[in-house]
């Protein structure tokens, strides 16, 4: 009888504590390191104007003309670039089209931020070009594809 | 009959005494043990960068100017810009300035701004998803890791895997534990992150160890 009474009192006490909002607490603290700046770099390459190509406006079969343009790394990361060329128009079509070819390195060229390099190229009209190419014109588009060199073997 | 008589007399005497204003007294005394002092302990931590930089200041900063403390000397460890695949390490000294032994139990981070404005998705989400954070006790990169995962997960408070304990501050120098924050911009981070300038806060939390299994 005495045990039952004690148990009942304990239950009542616990219930009262819960109703009264009794909570467990611990001492805690926190501190913060603020203002951490993570500036992401940029890969940004810029191609300048193509230099005047002497004879490009009056090519004869067998002619080779040379031109160049400057590429500059205007980003904040070191980069490497590849150059590719695509000719369009009558001069670059048909059986014996004109051929564009880069001189020197045009693949995997590394440029530091702010640095520039010159891309030199030739356009050659094969000697076998027939009369169908007389007066033909064409355009060449150069694509410079760049990527970061860091962590990029 | 005799008992009844004695009881009656006693009642008469008591009533007479009260009526006449006679008081009853007993000898008493009391003493005090006063001014007992109960000082509650303190849980108080201070987290500061290290690697020789003046404090306070951020662990990670791009330029010297961003990391320099006014009247504290130049910052020494600018990261420069970040790129996919880059990892940098910085130290955070967590000192116990309180009188109770503590354990570091939780960590978190907050992106406070991007490009000078409030962080907004999807850019903030992309940044958080592509930054990997590993926090460990200096010298124990494999065994005492507090957190390892994305910055995105760390934006909500995370319970530490390892919970380093720091003794109370009782002598000249506060006891400390040195944490390493290893941060990586993941290789798959995309061009949407090019040139962004996010600012991040890193928080550490401590709790008492006593009565706290």
Give the model confidence (pLDDT) of B155-197 as tens digits. Answer: 999 999 999 999 999 888 999 999 999 999 999 999 999 999 9
Give me the mean pLDDT over the B84-110 stretch.
Answer: 97
Dump pLDDT digits (tens) for A118-132. 999 999 999 999 999
CATH number, domain of A137, equals 2.60.40
Residue B84 pLDDT = 96
- The percentage of residues in chain B with a pLDDT greater than 90, rounded to a whole number, is 73
Task: Give the Cα separation of B41 and B99 in Å (integer).
Answer: 5
Residue A84 included in any domain: yes
The residue in chain B having the minimum alpha-carbon distance to the alpha carbon of residue A149 is B83
A·B CB contacts under 8 A: 128
Give me the mean pLDDT over the B31-50 stretch.
Answer: 90
Interface contact B202-A41, CB threshold 8 A? no
Of residues A30, A39, A148, nearest to B62 (C-beta): A39
Q: How far is CA B99 from CA A69, A110, B45, B210, in A?
A: 70, 58, 10, 12
Q: Report residue B154's pLDDT band, with 50, 70 and 90 as the boundaries.
A: very high
Checking if the pLDDT of A114 tops 90, the result is yes
Q: Report helix, strand and coil shares of chain A as percent, to nearest 5.
A: 15, 40, 45
The answer to whether A40 contacts chain B (CB < 8 Å) is: yes
Interface contact B208-A36, CB threshold 8 A? no
Residue A38 included in any domain: no
Interface contact A30-B204, CB threshold 8 A? yes
Q: Taking the CB of residue B51, how many other CB atoms lie within 10 A of it? A: 13
In total, how many domains does chain A have?
1
Residues of B in contact with A43 (CB under 8 A): 194
Residue B28 pLDDT = 82
Task: Write phi, then psi, for B73 (nearest 5 degrees).
Answer: 90, 165
- Mean pLDDT of chain A, nearest integer: 85
Residue A49 pLDDT = 84
Query: Pick from A91, A87, A86: which is nearest to A59 by CA?
Result: A91
Q: Report residue A21's pLDDT band, with 50, 70 and 90 as the boundaries.
A: low
Dump pLDDT digits (tens) for A74-103. 999 999 999 999 899 999 999 999 999 888
Residue A10 pLDDT = 46
Q: Whole-model pTM?
A: 0.79
Residues of B in contact with A36 (CB under 8 A): 58-61, 199-202
Instruction: Look at A128-137, B13-22, B97-106, B112-121 and tell me which has the smallest mean pLDDT.
Output: B13-22
Residues of B in contact with A26 (CB under 8 A): 207-208, 212
Dihedral sign computed on CA atoms, order B13, B19, B20, B26: positive
Domain that holds residue A107: 45-148
- Give the tokens for residue A81: 């670039």
Q: Report residue B88's pLDDT band, with 50, 70 and 90 as the boundaries.
A: very high
Interface contact B187-A151, CB threshold 8 A? yes
Q: Taking the CB of residue A45, how many other CB atoms lie within 10 A of it? A: 18
Q: Report residue B94's pLDDT band, with 50, 70 and 90 as the boundaries.
A: very high
- Give the tokens for residue B91: 């130290």
ipTM above 0.85, yes or no: no
Residue A87 included in any domain: yes
Residue A81 included in any domain: yes
Scan residues 75-94 of A and list those with Cβ closer than 8 Å to B: 76-77
3-state secondary structure of B78: coil
Residue A14 pLDDT = 46
Instruction: Look at A49-53, A55-59, A77-81, B20-24 and tell me which has the smallest mean pLDDT.
Output: B20-24
Interface contact B185-A34, CB threshold 8 A? no
How many CA atoms are closer than 13 Å to the CA of B73, on its beta-carbon side?
6
Dump pLDDT digits (tens) for B45-74. 999 999 889 889 999 999 999 998 888 788
Give me the mean pLDDT over the A54-76 stretch.
Answer: 89
Q: Report residue B10's pLDDT band, with 50, 70 and 90 as the boundaries.
A: low
Checking if the pLDDT of A13 tops 80, the result is no
Of residues A36, A39, A44, nearest to B58 (C-beta): A36
Residues of B in contact with A31 (CB under 8 A): 45-47, 94, 203-204
Q: How far is CA B95 from CA B109, B148, B151, B166, B176, in A?
A: 19, 22, 24, 8, 4
Interface contact A76-B60, CB threshold 8 A? no
């Amino acid at each position: 009888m005495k045990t039952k009474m004690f148990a009942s009192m304990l239950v009542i006490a616990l219930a009262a504590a819960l109703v009264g909002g009794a909570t467990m607490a611990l001492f805690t603290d926190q501190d913060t390191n603020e203002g951490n700046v993570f500036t992401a770099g940029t890969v940004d390459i810029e191609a300048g104007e193509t230099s005047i190509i002497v004879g490009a406006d009056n090519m004869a079969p067998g002619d080779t003309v040379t031109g160049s343009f400057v590429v500059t790394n205007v980003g904040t990361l070191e980069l490497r670039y590849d150059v590719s060329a695509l000719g369009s128009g009558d001069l670059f079509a048909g059986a014996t089209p004109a051929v564009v070819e880069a001189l020197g390195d045009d693949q995997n060229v590394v440029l530091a931020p702010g640095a520039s390099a010159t891309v030199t190229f030739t356009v050659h009209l094969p000697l076998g070009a027939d009369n169908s190419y007389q007066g033909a014109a064409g355009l060449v588009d150069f694509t410079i594809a760049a990527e970061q060199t860091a962590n990029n073997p | 009959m005799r008992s009844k008589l004695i009881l009656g007399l006693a009642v008469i005497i008591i009533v007479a005494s009260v009526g006449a204003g006679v008081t009853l007294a007993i000898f008493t005394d009391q003493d005090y043990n006063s001014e007992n002092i109960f000082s509650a302990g303190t849980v108080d931590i201070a987290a500061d960068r290290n690697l020789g930089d003046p404090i306070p200041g951020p662990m990670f900063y791009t330029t010297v100017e961003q990391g320099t403390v006014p009247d504290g000397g130049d910052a020494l460890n600018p990261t420069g810009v970040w790129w996919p695949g880059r990892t940098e390490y910085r130290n955070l000294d967590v000192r116990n300035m309180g009188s109770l032994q503590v354990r570091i139990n939780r960590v978190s981070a907050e992106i406070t701004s991007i490009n000078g404005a409030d962080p907004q998705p999807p850019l903030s989400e992309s940044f958080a998803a592509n930054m990997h954070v590993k926090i460990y006790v200096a010298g124990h990169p494999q065994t005492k890791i507090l957190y390892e995962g994305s910055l995105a997960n760390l934006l909500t408070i995370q319970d530490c895997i390892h919970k380093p304990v720091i003794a109370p501050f009782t002598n000249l120098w506060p006891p400390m534990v040195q944490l390493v924050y290893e941060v990586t911009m993941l290789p798959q981070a995309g061009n949407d992150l090019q040139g962004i300038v996010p600012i991040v806060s890193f928080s550490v939390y401590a709790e008492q160890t006593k009565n706290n299994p």
